[in-house]
Structure formats: structure tokens, C-alpha cells
């Protein structure tokens, strides 16, 4: 059994394991997917969450490393040294070959007694960065949820547009049948039949495009969730949303309080300030206690000895290295504050834009609803005129196109309202 065979076998086993895990996860897709369920699955399975969680775990490990300076360092060592060679004691004594062993066992302990804030500054630096990473995880979670919900809304809208195009095909087919019937009895010319066939063909092309867009939207939803189910599933129709929004000032206040990126920025400012202190404390002395217990000898039992000491270390001159590090830390702190101000402006702009988008979409919903009703009434009138023999096929075609466009406009307004509301909540950190 060669190494190459073992590697191939192991790779196959890993692949099969990943396939089984993916299959089990894919089975968690419900028969009817809701908006909330899509968000839950995305948080559980999207790879971005694993990246964020791993980054947070790394930050927590760095904090533990910083805390380690508070604890003593204990080490043990043991050794056996074998020495051999030819030894000449005097010219009159023949040379002899000697072999002997020397043994050594030691325990050492070292503890920083006081370093004038150096350790606590390092702990503060890394603790604040760890808190910032925790907020970054929350930010990633909010983004993953938003993307999954937006993809869900896009699929719902795509399915509604497919329905509209199916209705257009049915209307065009009905009009074609009517035109053929009228032509067969001499009430309408051949032009009406040809025109109706052209409208039907165009409606079928639009339906093909709509169905393809629906399939693309379904793939985008599965990608946003991080799961690709092996079974067919439906998406639940969303209930009507409340059209009442909190005042813009309240939205901004919530953003300052809850937006994780802003909270993470505050933690990074605190970390930068602590880094300035950590750099400055390198000017200060440190006191370290140490002790050791040793056993040495050429034969057992070994001879023992011990030592205990206290050492004060005071940096006197380091070539302006520490001063330069302090200046660098201060400059980094200033840059962090400036970046936070830039982030604040960007976040507030995002909140205001989405707030306006929600209100604008709500107004379009009301207007497009009235437009749809008028377009449907116009189609009824056109069909009545055509049936009575005074209307033209162009009127029917225009009315059908107008109704389809009005329905799609209403669907787009609904999607824009829901998606803008989701983006607003994400911008506020909710």
C-alpha cells in the first residue's frame, strides 16, 4: 500500500464526508421557505459567518496571550551528557580512555512583579480589538441576513412577474381565438388574426425571459443562504407591511446606538489610545522575580542547589525607538478617529437615503395600484369595443401591454418598498 494510494483514499473519504454533510444540510430547506427562515438558514450556513467567527476566535486568543504576562513562567529541564576521550595525566603514566556521564535536572520560575502598566496596556489593546471583532461578527450577520432577505424578495417578485406574463399569454391566446372566430364568419379581416398571432408570440417570448429570470433569482437566493437544496420548494407570499415609519431623527439615534460598525469603530479608537499608552510604558522599568532549583552530578544521588533573585530593568537609551513608536501610535489613533468620522458620515447618508427610498416606494405603491386598476378597466373597454365590432386590434394590444406594464410596475414598487425597508433596518443596525 503506497503513500499515494493512502492520500487518494483519504481525499475520497473527505469528499464523501463533505457530500454527506452538505446533503444533510440541504434537507433542512422547508417545502415552503419564509423570509425569516431564509435569514435563519443564511446565518447558519453562509461561509461569511464562518470567516467572521474564526476571526473572532483569533482575536480572543490574542487576548489570552496578552493576559499570559500576568502569570508565572515555569519550566523544567533534564539532561544526560556522556563524555569520552583519551586522557594523559603525566608522561610516565600511559594514556587512558575515559567515559563518564553527567546529569542535570532543573526547575525554573519567572514572574513579572510590576511593569508599570505595560501588561495592562497590552491587555487593553487586544481586549478592545476583540470587542471590535465581536461587533464585526454582528455586522457580518446583519449583512448575511440582509442579502438573504433581498434575494428572497427578488425571487418573490420574479415569480409574480412570471404570473403576469402567463396572464398576458392567456389574454393573447384568447384574443387570437376570438379573432379567428370573427374572421371565419367574415366579421374581421385576416390582418386581425395575423396581428393577434404576433402579439401572442411576443407574449410567449416575454414569458420565457421571465421564467429564466425566476430561475436565476432562485439560484441567487440559494447562494445568499449558502445552501443548494436537492428538492423543489416554494416561497411564501409576504404579508402587507406597515407603512408607518419612525421619525428620521429617531432612526439616526437608533443607528448611533445599534449600528455594529460604529460600535466596532469605538472599540478600535479605545484600542488605539491603549496602544499609545502601551508604547509609552516602554520608557518605564520592570521588576522580575526568578528562582531555580537544580540537581547536578556524575552519579546518583545528585547534588542540589537553588537560587532566588529579583531584577530591576530600566531602559536608559534606545536610540529614540520608543519615542518614535509613541508618535506612530498617536498618529494611528488620530487616523482611527478620522476614519470613524468618515464612517459616521457614510452610515448617516445610508440611513437617510434608505429612509427616503422607503417613503418614495410607499407613494409609488399607491400610485401604481391606481394605475393597475385603470389599466384593467381600459382593457375591459377595449375588449368590449372589439367584441361589438367598433374597436381595433391595436386597441386590444395597447391595453394588454399597458395592463402588464402596470402590474409589473406595482410589483417593482412592492419590491422596492420591502427591499428599502430591509436596507434601512440594516443601516440602523437592527
Instruction: Give the residue extent of every domain in the chain.
Output: 28-71+116-285+320-428
| Whether the model pTM is above 0.85 | no
- Which of 139, 11, 34, 85 is CA-nearest to residue 428? 139
pLDDT computed for residue 9 by the predictor:
55
Which residue bears the cell 415552503?
32
Q: Which long-range contacts (CB under 8 A, 24 or more apart) does 76-82 make?
A: 76/105, 76/106, 76/107, 76/108, 77/104, 77/105, 77/106, 77/108, 78/104, 78/105, 78/106, 79/103, 79/104, 79/105
Q: What letters, b where the CB count within 10 A reaches 16 and e where it falls short, cover 107-136?
A: eeeeebeebeebbbbbbbbbbbbbbbbbbb
Contact 241, 417 (CB under 8 A): yes
Q: Give the mean pLDDT per block of 10 residues along the chain (430 residues).
A: 49 45 57 92 94 93 89 93 76 75 92 88 92 94 96 95 94 89 83 88 95 96 92 81 79 93 95 92 90 90 91 86 90 95 96 94 91 90 82 84 92 93 92
pLDDT computed for residue 175 by the predictor:
86
Contact 420, 352 (CB under 8 A): no
Class at the top of the CATH hierarchy for domain 28-71+116-285+320-428: mainly alpha
pLDDT computed for residue 211 by the predictor:
96
Contact 56, 264 (CB under 8 A): no
Amino acid at each position: 500500500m503506497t503513500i499515494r494510494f493512502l492520500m487518494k483514499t483519504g481525499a475520497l473519504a473527505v469528499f464523501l464526508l463533505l457530500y454527506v454533510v452538505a446533503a444533510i444540510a440541504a434537507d433542512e430547506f422547508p417545502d415552503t421557505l419564509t423570509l425569516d427562515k431564509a435569514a435563519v438558514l443564511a446565518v447558519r450556513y453562509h461561509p461569511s459567518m464562518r470567516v467572521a467567527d474564526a476571526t473572532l476566535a483569533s482575536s480572543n486568543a490574542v487576548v489570552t496571550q496578552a493576559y499570559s504576562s500576568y502569570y508565572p513562567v515555569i519550566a523544567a529541564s533534564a539532561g544526560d551528557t556522556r563524555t569520552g576521550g583519551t586522557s594523559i595525566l603525566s608522561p610516565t603514566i600511559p594514556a587512558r580512555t575515559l567515559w563518564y556521564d553527567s546529569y542535570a535536572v532543573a526547575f525554573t520560575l519567572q514572574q513579572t512583579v510590576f511593569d508599570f502598566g505595560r501588561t495592562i496596556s497590552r491587555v487593553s489593546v487586544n481586549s478592545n480589538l476583540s470587542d471590535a471583532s465581536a461587533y464585526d461578527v454582528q455586522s457580518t450577520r446583519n449583512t448575511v441576513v440582509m442579502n438573504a432577505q433581498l434575494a428572497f424578495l427578488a425571487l418573490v417578485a420574479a415569480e409574480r412577474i412570471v404570473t403576469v406574463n402567463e396572464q398576458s399569454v392567456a389574454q393573447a391566446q384568447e384574443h387570437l381565438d376570438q379573432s379567428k372566430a370573427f374572421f371565419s364568419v367574415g366579421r374581421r379581416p385576416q390582418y386581425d388574426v395575423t396581428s393577434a398571432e404576433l402579439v401572442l408570440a411576443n407574449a410567449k417570448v416575454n414569458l420565457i425571459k421571465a421564467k429564466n429570470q425566476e430561475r436565476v433569482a432562485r439560484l441567487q437566493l440559494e447562494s445568499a443562504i449558502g445552501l443548494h437544496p436537492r428538492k423543489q420548494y416554494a416561497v411564501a407570499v409576504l404579508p402587507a407591511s406597515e407603512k408607518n415609519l419612525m421619525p428620521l431623527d429617531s432612526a439616526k439615534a437608533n443607528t448611533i446606538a445599534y449600528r455594529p460598525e460604529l460600535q466596532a469603530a469605538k472599540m478600535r479608537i479605545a484600542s488605539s489610545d491603549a496602544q499609545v499608552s502601551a508604547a509609552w510604558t516602554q520608557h518605564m522599568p520592570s521588576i522580575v522575580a526568578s528562582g531555580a532549583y537544580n540537581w547536578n552530578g556524575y552519579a546518583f544521588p545528585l547534588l542540589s542547589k537553588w537560587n532566588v533573585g529579583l531584577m530591576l530593568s530600566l531602559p536608559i537609551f534606545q536610540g529614540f525607538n520608543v519615542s518614535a513608536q509613541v508618535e506612530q501610535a498617536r498618529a494611528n489613533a488620530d487616523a482611527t478617529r478620522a476614519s470613524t468620522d468618515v464612517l459616521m458620515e457614510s452610515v448617516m447618508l445610508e440611513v437617510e437615503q434608505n429612509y427616503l427610498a422607503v417613503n418614495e416606494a410607499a407613494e409609488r405603491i399607491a400610485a401604481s395600484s391606481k394605475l393597475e386598476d385603470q389599466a384593467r378597466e381600459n382593457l375591459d373597454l377595449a375588449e368590449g369595443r372589439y367584441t361589438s365590432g367598433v374597436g381595433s386590434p391595436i386597441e386590444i394590444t395597447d391595453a394588454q401591454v399597458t395592463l402588464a406594464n402596470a402590474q409589473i410596475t406595482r410589483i417593482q414598487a412592492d419590491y422596492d418598498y420591502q427591499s428599502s425597508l430591509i436596507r434601512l433596518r440594516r443601516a440602523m443596525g437592527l
